[in-house]
Amino acid sequence: MLTGCHVAFIGGDARQIEVIKKCSELDATILLIGFNRLESQYPGATKVNPSPEIFEEVDALILPVVGTQDDGIVESIFSDQIIILKDEWLEALPDHCVIYTGMSTPYLEQLASKYNLKLVQLLERDDVAIYNSIPTVEGALMMAIQNTDITLHGSHCVVLGLGRVGMTLARTLHAIGAKVFVGARKKEHLARIYEMSLTPFHLQEIKQYVQHCDILFNTIPSKVVPAEVIVHLPSHALIIDLASNPGGVDFRFAEKRGIKALLAPGLPGIVAPKTAGRILANVVTQLLIEERQARGENDGFKR
């Protein structure tokens, strides 16, 4: 339980609602900043106007998945006002307060370090990334289906990278009957791809492996699909780049060659915000409980 735990939420999207709900179910005391248009009510949650005083008892500050913008703006789909994460709010936080964000930004890192506050980047955690790979892959399949006139079953798919997203994607494509070729650079990844009954290739050999490709999925956040690779793709091929912005594809050259190439960021929040929110809610609340235990606080139950 989170009885007696003070959690402040600043901004967010539909995913944040799942985190608020879960904190409310666990009996936390919740402050909502940037939620003036939110109609639903949750036990223990109060909408507040931010001022330094309200942060004085906060044990955890929860920011949106994207954190803040470079100028400190915190996006909120539930507010018609611009919210900027202010220096004096963080200054007022108790020393033990932990800041949770999906990803960090220089603005956030600088503020957290200025006030010596622990900053947790949820999307960097292996467990979150693996759970998130499920809606990401469903979104990638949706895009592939919408942008081709062939079935994925029987199609020739190339997946670049065998990280958290690449592995889920390669396995899912194989399960629905695609012919899956996976490019990686580490020997242990090539061995794992073979073990999964897929066709491995070293990234240095990419040109020969894309020649018969119907759909190329990139998960590597580095320029692994330059013009020299794109010239070897068949003209009907579709490229779906899942890697974080700016992706790993030369989009300008793909367009010039008439090859459809799509950069597809943020799929979990788009295709399955509820699931993506629940993934964050489960992890955040577990971390909040662990933080309390580490501080020697009880969970509100008398024993």
Q: Provide the token pair at 125.
A: 């955690």
Nearer to ligand NAP, 34 or 67 (CB): 67
Interaction of residue 273 with ligand NAP, rule CB under 6 A: no
Alpha carbon 28 to chain centroid, angstroms: 25
Token pair of 240 as six digits: 């779906």
Q: What is the distance between the alpha carbons of residues 100 and 9, in angstroms, rounded to a whole number?
A: 10
Cβ nearer to ligand NAP, comparing 117 with 137: 137
- Stretch 183-202: interaction string toward ligand NAP, x if CB under 6 A: -xxx----------------
Q: Which one of the spans 12-20, 63-71, 145-153, 221-229 is the region binding ligand NAP (CB under 6 A)?
A: 221-229
What's the per-residue H, E or C state across 105-128? CHHHHHHHHHCCCEEEEHHHCHHH
Shortest Cβ 38–ligand NAP spacing (Å): 25
Out of 46, 222, 286, 298, which residue is the one contacting ligand NAP (CB under 6 A)? 222
SS3 228: helix
The 10 Å CB-count burial string (b at 16+, else e) for 185-219 is: eeeebbebbeebebebbebeebeebbeebbbbbbb
Residue nearest to ligand NAP (CB): 163
User: Per CB under 6 A, does 207 bind ligand NAP?
Assistant: no
Residue of 236, 228, 288 whose CA lies nearest to 1: 288
DSSP 191-210: HHHHHTTSEEEEGGGHHHHS
Whole-number Å distance between alpha carbons of 296 and 48: 29
Residues 52, 163, 273, 300: which binds ligand NAP (CB under 6 A)?
163
Binding to ligand NAP by residue 252, rule CB under 6 A?
A: no
Size, binding site for ligand NAP by CB under 6 A:
26
Of residues 221, 257, 273, 299, which one binds ligand NAP by CB under 6 A? 221
| Helix or strand run (H / E) with residue 277 | helix 273-294
Which one, 3 or 121, has the nearer CB to ligand NAP? 121
SS3 61: strand
Among positions 267, 280, 281, 284, the unique one binding ligand NAP when judged by CB under 6 A: 267
Q: Could you tell me which stretch among 62-70, 77-85, 262-270, 289-297 binds ligand NAP (CB under 6 A)?
A: 262-270
Applying CB under 6 A, which part among 206-214, 215-223, 230-238, 272-280 lies near ligand NAP?
215-223
**Options 105, 132, 172, 285; binder of ligand NAP; rule CB under 6 A:** 132
Distance from C-alpha of 300 to C-alpha of 303, rounded to nearest angstrom: 9
Decide if residue 165 touches ligand NAP (CB under 6 A). yes
Task: Report whether 46 contacts 23 (CB < 8 A).
Answer: no
Give the integer Cα–Cα distance in Å for 215 and 159.
Answer: 9
CB of 16 to ligand NAP, least distance (A): 17
Sketch the per residue contact string, 84 through 113, with ligand NAP: x for CB under 6 A, - otherwise.
Answer: ------------------------------
Query: Nearest 5°: phi and psi at 128?
Result: -65, -45
- Residue 3 near residue 27, CB atoms below 8 Å: yes
Binding site for ligand NAP (CB under 6 A): 129, 132, 136, 161-166, 184-186, 203, 219-222, 224, 242-244, 264-268
